[in-house]
A and B are shown apart, each in its own frame.
Chain A
Amino acid sequence: MPQTRPDPGVLDAWQDPDARPFLEIRKVTKIFGDRTYAVDDVSLEVFQGEFFSLLGASGCGKSTLLRMLAGLERSTQGQILIEGQDITRMPPYERPVNMMFQSYALFPHMTVEQNVAFGLKQERLSAQAIRTRVGEMLELVHMSEHARRRPEQLSGGQRQRVALARSLAKQPKLLLLDEPLAALDRKLRERTQFELVNIQERVGTTFIMVTHDQEEAMTMSSRLAVMDAGRIMQIGTPSEIYEYPGNRFVAEFIGAVNLFEGRIVGSDGDRVIIQTDAAAGDIVLYHAHPLAIGTPVAVALRPEKLRILDGPPGDDRNWVRGKVREIGYLGDVSVYHVGTEQGMTIQVQVTNRARRTAGPLTWDDTVHLGWDSEAGVVLPA
């Protein structure tokens, strides 16, 4: 078992055009019954040593995709390759892949030790080798002193550790995690997030995790794919997904966002000018690619990217006026809901720098909000 930290280079493998992907999912479709597309034409590449997350609401097909990787579901169409080898039709018990189940699926009639040894026993290893390996795994998840217990005598967090140890015991090339932290309470979940990432770095195995919790996906993964209705909406690093959402769905799914609808009326260098009924003046934003005049677009602005202005800006661009409707005090930040003159409700987030003032604003204050031309993202409407 490699105990060294992986080369930082591998974590950026997806940026290297020559890198060979470790896992390739090619145009995979899964149809349940007649015409329920659980997974719809999904293609995906994951590289060695990555912590990759599939993020989406329940029923978006992320678990079905994971189960197809494990071999527990057959894909209707498409191919799945690991290190270039086609495993699409390989039965689960022959795949070099292990899975950590959401319910943990620990064998209730076996002790912790026997559960961890189960996979190793299928490989005809010597009793001594199995014992050593089980000891190592229990050490890794800090469960050595509970080796003789049965699953029903363990707490939720302990069961989660045993499940992880069991799925890692066979040194799989790829570990699949189905909502691994969903059954834990909040405090334990936060602690386990970091522990899981730590373990992943130590063993160097490629992890693919399914989760509905965007915070979890953002904290833990090197890259993630946002899924909706069986399709992948966007693939990227957490910051790419957050800062440069590729479409409205991703923008709205990850974090809070204010959306302004409008259309392109011109350009100003590498910036586009957008005419909109939702803001006071035009919106001007950086956009890498030129857009044709008249294209309908949506502008996404995160609440923390808005600023409170003293008055209308001189150039009459990138601003809006409204009244404070709601104030949410969250400790570190305050969130204001501002009803604009154009009839929209906009969220603004302000960091609480000083202790006593919960922000300079109160209900029904008139407020001017503005943003920089780098703050927002132009999305197809």
Chain B
Amino acid sequence: MKAGREAAAQIGASSIKLRFDRGVKSLTQGRLGRLLVIALPYSWLLLFLLLPILIVLKISLGETALASPPYAPMLQWAEDRTLSIQVHFGNYAFLWQDPLYVSAYLNSLKVAAVSTVLCLLIGYPMAYGIARAPAGWRIVLLMLVILPFWTSFLIRVYAWIGLLQGNGLVNHLLLSMGLIDQPLALLHTNFAVYLGIVYSYLPFMVLPLYATLVRMDLTLLEAAADLGCHPWKAFVTVTLPLSMPGIIAGSLLVFIPAVGEFVIPDLLGGPDSLMIGKVLWTEFFSNRDWPVAAAVAVAMLLLILVPLLLFQRIGERETTRDQG
């Protein structure tokens, strides 16, 4: 009898263990586990990216009101108990009609594009030099590129004010060397904005370029030389095309944040360096016109996102055509 009960208990215990094992297994290998792994990042994106964008979109379709928050609600119960939805496209029309916004957008695109090209021109030789340096040196040189990140971005931009202002270090140096007679107006110019953006975003260009260049098979250059190709031409026909993924990644990493850049033009720029980030800030905080500010933001998002998606589409189509 006793033995039978023990055996039964054992069977019970083992069946619990079996079920537990099965549970763990389904969590790690089964559909549930897979679902969990996929759901986590997706819910993160949903909660902290898509939802805020939808809220901004909603605000952009509203009307300004003296209220808190300062816009009219989209959904309203009318007196006859009907639910009315008010969608207001006026803000977008306003953006298009007022030349201030259009020129701010265009100026932002121009500043971002020029800065990206400058970053590429400065960053490519840097990345190339690091990637071709002796292996022991590479990590040190990379650290030097990353080192500025250890100081706050804001402090570094403020430091440029100290360097560029009328009685700043740069003017002081030029004066004492006798190259100029009176201080140059460096601060609050477009030059200062470009300088600030290129300085701040250069690492974002160097790092992806380095990553592609260091992976490159150097025998390819030997093969090119062996086939009669001069080193300069080999750079153009072999190295440059093979580093294209790094060029694209680096350019996007510089261009996209540079379009919406606010701090640098605000601190270093003058009255004529109007960028969309600054307009956005003014609409939001000075004018307290949330709907227009939201419309500015949405328009900026579309301005960057649409060409980007098209670009990616074309790229994908090309790769699938190659494989076909």
Residues of chain A at the chain B interface (Cβ within 8 Å): 70-72, 91-94, 97-99, 101, 103, 105-109, 118-119, 122-123, 150, 153, 166-167, 170
Contacts and interface: CB of A to CB of B under 8 A. Distances in A.
Interface of B: 217, 219-220, 222-231, 233, 237-238, 241-242, 322-323
A91 B234 CA distance: 14
Given A103-B219, A150-B322, A153-B323, A108 B242 contact: yes
A153 B319 CA distance: 12
The residue among A93, A94, A109 with the most chain B CB atoms within 10 A of its own CB is A93
B223 A122 contact: no
A76 to B, nearest CB: 19
Given A105-B217, A108-B242, A153-B323, A72 B222 contact: yes
6 contacts: A93-B231, A105-B222, A107-B220, A107-B224, A122-B233, A123-B228
B242 A109 contact: yes
Contact of B238 (A91, A99, A107, A123): A107
A21 to B, nearest CB: 23
B226 A72 contact: yes
A208 B65 CA distance: 85
B228 A170 contact: yes
Contact of B227 (A91, A108, A118, A153): A118
Contacts of B227: 93, 98, 118-119, 122, 166-167, 170
B229 A70 contact: no
B225 A72 contact: yes
Nearest to B242: A109
A108 B238 CA distance: 9
B225 A103 contact: no
B156 to A, nearest CB: 38
B219 A92 contact: no
B239 to A, nearest CB: 11
Nearest to B322: A150
Nearest to A118: B227
Contacts of A105: 217, 219-220, 222-223
B223 to A, nearest CB: 4
Given A122-B228, A153-B323, A170-B227, A92 B222 contact: yes
Nearest to B233: A122
Given A70-B226, A118-B224, A170-B227, 19 more contacts: A70-B222, A71-B226, A72-B225, A91-B225, A98-B226, A101-B223, A105-B217, A105-B223, A107-B220, A107-B223, A107-B224, A107-B238, A108-B242, A109-B242, A119-B228, A122-B229, A150-B322, A167-B226, A167-B227
B230 A93 contact: yes
Given A107-B238, A108-B242, A92 B217 contact: no
A251 B191 CA distance: 75
B254 to A, nearest CB: 24
A311 to B, nearest CB: 62
A205 to B, nearest CB: 15
A333 B319 CA distance: 54
A315 B233 CA distance: 75
A103 B219 CA distance: 8
**In the complex, the 10 A-B pairs of residues with the closest C-beta atoms, listed nearest first:** A119-B227, A105-B223, A122-B228, A92-B225, A105-B219, A93-B225, A109-B241, A99-B226, A93-B228, A122-B229
A150 B199 CA distance: 39
Nearest to B222: A72
B172 to A, nearest CB: 48
Nearest to B226: A99
Contacts of B217: 103, 105
Nearest to B229: A122
Contacts of A109: 241-242
A97 to B, nearest CB: 8
Nearest to B225: A92
A170 B223 CA distance: 13
B317 to A, nearest CB: 16
A167 B226 CA distance: 9
A109 B319 CA distance: 11
Nearest to B220: A105
